[in-house]
Structures are given as structure tokens and as C-alpha cells.
Amino acid sequence: MINLEGHFEIPFLKENGFTRRQCEICNRYYWSQDSDRKNCGDSPCQEYTFIDNPPTKRKYELSQMRNIFLKHFEKNDHTIIKPYPVIARWRDDVYLVGASIYNFQPYVTEGRIPPPANPLVISQPCLRFTDIDKVGQTFGRHMIIFEMGGAHAFNRPEKEIYWKEDTVRFHHELLTQELGIDSEEVSYKEDFWSGGGNAGPDLEACVSGLEISTLVFMMYRYVGDKLVEMPFRTVDTGYGMERWAWLSQGSATGFHATYGNLLENTIKLANIEINNETITSYARIALRSDTQALPIEKKQIAENLGLTIEEMEKTVKDFQRICTTLDHTKALCFILSEGIVPSNMQEGYLARLLIRRTYRMLKILGIEDRFFDIVDDQIAYWSRDFQNLKFMRDEIIEELDVEQEKYKKTLDKGADLVKRISRQIKTSGENEIPQTKLVELYDSHGLVPEMVQECAAKEKVTINIPEDFFEKVAKRHLDPEKTKEDVDVNIPKEKLEKYPETTKLYYQNPYLSEFKARVLDVIDEKYVILNQTAFYSEGGGQLSDTGNLLFDGKTTKVIDVQSVGNIIQHTIEGPAPLVDIEIQGKIDWERRISLMRHHTSTHILIGAAKRVLGEHAWQSGAAKDVQSSRLDISHYKHLTRDEINKIEQLTCETITNNIPVETFWLSRDEAEKKYGYRLYQGGAVPGTKIRIVKTGDWDVEACGGTHVRSTGEIGIIKILRVERIQDGVERIIFASGPQALKKIQERDQQFSDTAQILNTPIENVKHAALTITDELDSSNKKLRRILEEVAKIEAESLLKKANAIENTKLIVIEKEKWDEEEIVMLGSKISKDDPHSISIIILIGKTVRIFVFAGKNAIKSGAHAGKLAKELSAIVEGGGGGKDYFGQGGGEQKEKIQEMKQLAPTILKKQLIKK
């Protein structure tokens, strides 16, 4: 625990009569002017006293409060900047923007690039899933989506902007001078904040029981587990805009203050009575620290309202579900508007979690059919301030429609799945579904805990639902996994700093196929370090170059090239050069130019996909190879043939237009300002400078690969096939240039060969194939009728020879060179013709296969085909199982077939006796 004493000896606080004291309830230290105050001023140490009694001089809607906040800091020399996206595509350590400071970590906060302004102020939409289970339960204190007002100053050793004194002064003047809050109502609670690798002491501002702001003085960074003081100090303040609006309105909940008419409209959609007096009275005591007194106070509130406790609790729960629905649907609108496709991976998982949870809430309220009405209302309401929502409206609705239909199909199978699991648990002697299984049922099948609980209860199996269930499942998907690159790196760490940076000639001229360089080092006679190189090192989904090094009349192969920091390592096969000699390098040019064509084609394809499918089509992965490449894109449905054709058509037009492909470097802040965050198609790019690849007005991306000079050099792009590699991601496999032509010619040859086999002109192949298919279908039907007739005759014959055992008839036969369909046809016919029959059909091939069929009456007598198959299979040293009416299995030991046939009647008798 950090000792905070002395961190907040701020002149402004002391000059205005604030003194440091300790809360009698939570023991935290805080600063206050009120000499009679005994607690820190935050809930649950203090009740909400602002409800129906706002401490401000007037009431403000959220948009008004946002404007007052921004203008206040603008008057104090801050520059207002536009909010960033909520999807943090510029970072590789988080998926979502959880605070305004996320926009500036790590490059600005570490002093590596300048901030967009200094000081600056922003009202940033944020998403936090850590409090998902508390949404609605705390009446607006917690929301997944919220606006954080951030006033930031970035202090450098050479230039101080402002620090603690002005930070507290700006905050306090906004409260007291702008909003008219009595200074004695305000308390500042001491704490220590950390996030994004940075940390610092902070003050949490509280008014009337509500924490409204956090003023962080970011002065440390984590190095491992240790805190190290930074030369760059950042003022990181977070003003909860929804809480400030709530405080000013004194409304029953924060949802009233945030959603206004949206809340009322949703209550009307649900056709339920929500008594605001009930909510107000309940909210006042809900977060009390004295939880033992709650039941008594709840009873008193219910009596005062003329309600039973059950009626009051139902009203409150319905209201909380509506609040949760509003929060989740707003969050969904923002997430989907920025191109996230619901899936079981990464940000898509979080979107799907919100959809499923919302659907469950609406189903309980009986208005699941109004899902899209609520989303439409949200878009109309919030697009006044965030216009991208309106622009993306149709895509948002279509994505939700597709996802909802998927979820309905999942739910249809859910009850049977839980029933089977419950019965398995009871069979094992337990009576509770473990939490690991609960998480699995949600992750894999979308079954929320309450639904599992309902289904399990019917089987008399219990379930313990954790209060923070959704927080736990969300946490497993909140942070990107760190991928370990499988790179054969052999440069000793102590030498890394000694080498000068390798000059990358392939960036200066990607068409350079030969070059000269000096050998800096050779490691283990296998790894060569040069002062400069034209060999591209593997990265960004593009394979490395290969080729040769020539020296002293010798030639050695370069088989792999990798970057290690700023050094490039060449893996060779053959004689190694001596250190400090000059070598000549020769690139395998055909390989390089093919990779260049394929890499530029990837950029053309993602531009085409976005135009055909919509703004949600983002790159989810790519691999550029010599013969063909792949591009993975986010999309919520399988690509249709028409969509594939349209994408190909657009790529053809782009190539025909011969658009110049420019490559240049920009500082990170300049690149983002000029081109936006669609730069990061291939993921976050490290460094303070970014290499930009711009294909006219068609596409612009941050990219480190090699590219052709213009699109016309590609010649042609051919999509070879499209695969669904996971839910929400389509994989496009394609070829470019001569490789594409080769693939087209191969397919053309196959088509020509097919026409020759069918003895028809190429233009009639389709008709000929359909004719043959129809004829084959007709022949199969005739064959099936013949097989059915054969099965009928053989079944009659076998039943006459059946061995009577108790109330059943046992048939055991061997077959060779029969297919499974014939066996099933015969066994099913025997069971149908005589319900007392048990037929065991042994198929002999390289191994033994066993098929067991049981008629209805045989099953009633105790026969079980699956169990019989299992025991018989064990004799031939194999395994099996199945249902009571049909089982199958087999084994390797053909020599034990006779033993199995002899034991079959005995095994069957045991089943019948048990019955």
C-alpha cells in the first residue's frame, strides 16, 4: 500500500480551509472544509443526499453538462479535441477505451510524441465491462458505457504546464463557481491509481454521497512489479459526465439523468408500471453500508407506498432490467458502429455478450420483439452528438438481426443440452452444476445462468450463480493475448546494442534486386549481420526474401531473414563470409515481385470489401505468400457469390485505373490526424513514426511491407475460394499477377477436361452435368427400391431362423463387402417386421464392425442395442455404444468373431433378466 501522506499538501486546499482527516467508516483519508464531517463523503459511507435535493443552482441534461465542462476548461486555456473511437485499434494491449488517458498512452505520456494539444480537454465515450453485473443494480453509479470528461496536461522536464495546484483549482471552480455547489459539500478522498502501465496518487471528488471525479497525478510507470518515477508527469483527470448530470438533476437514478425520454419510452414499450417514488425511496438506501438495517427499511418503504415487499421488489427489478437494457443497447450501438462484428473472439465476444444479456432482459420483460425499436431510439437519440451512429444505422440493425436469429437457434437447443448435463451429473452422484460448466454453457452455447438454473431445477439439480458471473466471463476476453513469434533469433543480447541499425534498402527502393554491403558479424557460421540489406525481413504477414550472398568467388544461400529490434539477421545455408568483408547480395526477384503484388492486392481487396459489405469489414488477419495469399475480414454472414463477384469487379477496376501506390513516413500523431484510425487495418503498429502505404483514394494503411509502384503492375486478382474460418470472420484466398493467371488456366483446363469427359461443348457443361445428375438420382432411387426389396426378402428369411431368447428373437449374421446403408436397411427392416427381434450384423473387412438393432417390444423386455454393442465390441478388443434401438462398435481381433457370436445370447439374457 502506497503511503499518500504528504502527496496532497496543496496550497489551494489549505488556503480554502480544507483539512486532512480520516473517515470513521472506511478509514480512508480525505480533505474537507466541513469541520463536522465524519466520513469521506462517498457511498456507502454517506447516503445519497442529492436525490430530490440537487446541490447545483440549476439542472443540466447530459449534453448541457458536457458543454459546460468543455467550455470551463477552454476558458482556462485548454484546447477542446474531438473524442476518439471506443475501439482502441491504435493499441495492442487493450481492445476498448476505458478512460480518456487511453488515447495518449504510451507514446504521449512517455514523451515520445507530442500531444494533439497541451493542455487539452475531451469528453470521451468509454467502455468498461468490469462492472457489468452492477449495471442497473446501483441505479446509475455503474454503467458499461459512459462519457469521461478528461482534462489533461502533459508536463515535460523542459516545460511545466500545470500540476496539482491548478488541477484541484480548475475542478473546484467548476463545482462552485459554474454549478453553484456549496464548497462544504465537496470532499476529496485520497487514493492511488494505476492503469495502462502508469500510476500515480489521486484525489476522488465526492458530493452528497456520489463520487463524481478522479484527479490522477500520473508520475510513475511500472517496470515489472516496481514503480519507477517518470520524468514526464501527466495530469489525468476523469470527470464522470453522467454522474455530474445526475448530481445536478437530483433524479431518482443516474439512468433518468442520462437517458431522459428514452427511459420513459422504454418503460412504455414494456407496458409496466414504474412508480418513481418507489425507485427514489429504494435508491436512497440501496448502497448503504449498514446492510443489516436494509430489510427493515425496505419493509417500511413498502408500507409507506402501500405495497407488499414482493410488489416493491418486482417494480425495482423490472426497472433495473430496463436500465441494463438501455446501457447495453447504447454500448452495442457504439461498438457496432466502429466495425466490430459479434463473434466468440476478442471485441466480438464482448458485443455478443451484450446482445445475449440484453435479449434475456427483454425476454423477461416480455418485449424481446421490441429489441430493434429500442436500438433505433438509441441511434436517433445519441447521433445528435455522435453522428457516426446515424451513418452506420443500417449496418448496426442488420448485424443485430443476424445475431439475434443465431441466438434464437442456440436457445432452442439449450433446454435439451442442460437436461442431458443435469442427468449426467445426477448419475455421477452429484446434484450441482459446477461453475466451470456454467461458463462453458455460456461461452459455447450462449445459455445465461438463469436459463440454466430454470432447466436444471426441473431435473432437481441446483446451480450457484456468482454475483459477478458476467464480469468473470468478460475479463477472460478483455485484453488481447500476447502472441509469441516463432522466430529463430540468435543474436546475443549483449551484442544487440553494439550493432548500428541495419539500413533497410528495400524501403529506399523495393525494386532493388542486387546490392553491396559490409559484413558486421557472423554468428555460429549460420547467421549474418550486414550494415545494409535489400533482403526484406519477415513481418506484417509477408514472408521474407530469399536469395544469395556472393563473396570471394563463393555463393551461399539466404534462406530466411528476420528482424531483431533494429538489426536484421540473415540465415544462410552454405559457406559463411568473413567479418568486415564486402559481399554482394542477390534477391530471388521472382519471389519478391510476387510477394509485392500479393501484398498490394491485400490492400485493394480490403478496400473493395469495405465498399461491397460495409464499414464493418475490417482486416482480421492476412498472409502473403508467393503462389497465393489470404485475407481475413470481419463479416457477420457468409459471403454470397454475388458479393464475391462485386469484390472482384472492384479490384479489376482498381487495377485498370492504374492508381499510384505511395509509401512514406509520418509521425504517429500526424498520421492519425490526417488519415484516422482506419490506418490500423493490420493491427496496432509500434513506434513514433509510421510507414504509410496509400493507394490513391482507394485505401490507406500503416504497413511495413513491400509494394508495387501502381495497381496496374498487379495485372489481375482472382479470388480462388472463400471460407468461414470462425464465426464473424471470412477468409478470402486469392492469387495475383502471373500466379492468378496460372490458377485461371488450371481451372480452365479442368473445365475443358470435364467437357471432354462429358462429351459436350464447354458452353453445355452445366446442362450436361445437370442431366447426368438427374439420371444418377433416378438410378439411385431404382437401386434403393431394389435394395429394399432384397432387405425385405432377407429379413423374412432371417426371422424364420431366429433364436428365441425369453420374449425376444435373436439374429446374428456375418456380412462382407456390404456398405453401411445396406446394413441399416436390413436391420431396420427386421426391427419393423418383428418388434420382438434383436439383430446383430457383423461386417468383416480389415477390422470387425458390429451393428445392433432392437425392436420396440424387445426394448420393453430389457434389451438395449447400444449396451449390447459395447459388450460385444469388448470381446474383439474394441469399443462401442449407442441408443436402446440402435448401437454400433467394433474391434481389431477378427479371430474372436466366433467367440463373440457364441457369447451374444448369454449377454442378451443378462439384459433381459435385469429387466
Q: Nearest to residue 441, comparing CAs of 420, 459, 458, 460?
A: 420
Phi-psi region of 346 (alpha: psi -120 to 50; beta: other; left: phi over 0): left
Query: Per residue in 518-543, pLDDT tens?
Result: 999 998 889 999 999 999 999 878 99
Residue 309 pLDDT more than 90? no
- Rg (Cα) of the chain, in Å, rounded? 36
Residue 484 pLDDT more than 60? no
Residues contacting 154, CB < 8 A, separation 6+: 104, 108, 109, 111, 115, 118, 119, 161, 232, 234, 235
Strand order across the beta sheet in which 808-816 lies: 803-805, 808-816, 837-844, 848-854, 886-891, 879-882
Q: How confident is the model at residue 456 (pLDDT cuts 50, 70, 90)?
A: confident
Contact of 812 with 804, CB cutoff 8 Å: no
Q: Which amino acid is at 86?
A: V
Average pLDDT on 317-335 reads 93
Percent above pLDDT 70 for the chain: 95
C-alpha cell at 869: 454393442
Q: Where are the alpha helices (DSSP H) in 676-721?
A: none
Average pLDDT on 294-320 reads 80
Q: Nearest to residue 298, comparing CAs of 282, 277, 310?
A: 282
Query: Per residue in 115-133, pLDDT tens?
Result: 999 999 999 999 998 888 8
Q: How confident is the model at residue 485 (pLDDT cuts 50, 70, 90)?
A: very low
C-alpha cell at 227: 514503480
Helix (H, G, I), strand (E, B) or coil at 848: strand
Whole-angstrom Cα distance, residue 694 to residue 533?
A: 24
Q: How confident is the model at residue 486 (pLDDT cuts 50, 70, 90)?
A: very low
pLDDT of residue 291: 54
Query: Per residue in 202-214, pLDDT tens?
Result: 999 999 999 999 9
Query: Per residue in 487-500, pLDDT tens?
Result: 555 666 666 678 89
Query: Per residue in 459-471, pLDDT tens?
Result: 777 777 777 777 7
Average pLDDT, the chain: 87
**CA geometry: angle at 793 spanning 789 and 796, to 5°?**
135
pLDDT of residue 442: 75
Burial of 574 (C-beta count, 10 Å sphere; 0-12/13-18/19+): middle
pLDDT of residue 557: 95
Helix (H, G, I), strand (E, B) or coil at 841: strand
284 or 509: which carries more pLDDT confidence?
A: 509
pLDDT of residue 290: 52
Query: Per residue in 718-765, pLDDT tens?
Result: 999 998 888 888 999 999 999 888 888 888 888 788 878 877 887 787
Q: Nearest to residue 733, comparing CAs of 632, 640, 638, 630?
A: 630
Percent above pLDDT 90 for the chain: 43
Contact of 650 with 611, CB cutoff 8 Å: yes
The pTM (predicted TM-score) of the whole model is 0.80
Residue 292 pLDDT more than 60? no
Residues paired with residue 564 on neighbouring β-strands, in sequence order: 567
Give the rounded distance of the alpha carbon of 887 from its chain centre: 41
Give the rounded distance of the alpha carbon of 68 from its chain centre: 36
Whole-angstrom Cα distance, residue 546 to residue 538?
A: 11
Residue 83 pLDDT more than 90? yes
pLDDT of residue 493: 64
Whole-angstrom Cα distance, residue 396 to residue 190?
A: 42
pLDDT of residue 562: 92
Residue 217 pLDDT more than 70? yes
Query: 504546464: which residue's cell?
Result: 161
pLDDT of residue 19: 92
Q: Nearest to residue 239, comparing CAs of 416, 70, 360, 82?
A: 70
Hey, which bits of 390-513 come out as E strands?
Answer: 432-433, 462-463, 503-504
Residue 331 pLDDT more than 90? yes
Burial of 512 (C-beta count, 10 Å sphere; 0-12/13-18/19+): middle
pLDDT of residue 664: 94
Give the lowest-confidence range in 449-463, 842-856, 890-904. Answer: 449-463
pLDDT of residue 722: 92
Average pLDDT on 419-435 reads 75
Average pLDDT on 902-913 reads 86
pLDDT of residue 598: 95
Phi, psi (deg, nearest 5) at residue 539: 170, 155
Give the lowest-confidence range in 46-60, 424-438, 668-682, 834-848. Answer: 424-438
What's the CA dihedral at 284, 290, 296, 302 to 10 degrees?
Answer: 10
pLDDT of residue 180: 94
Average pLDDT on 145-151 reads 95
pLDDT of residue 330: 96
pLDDT of residue 255: 93
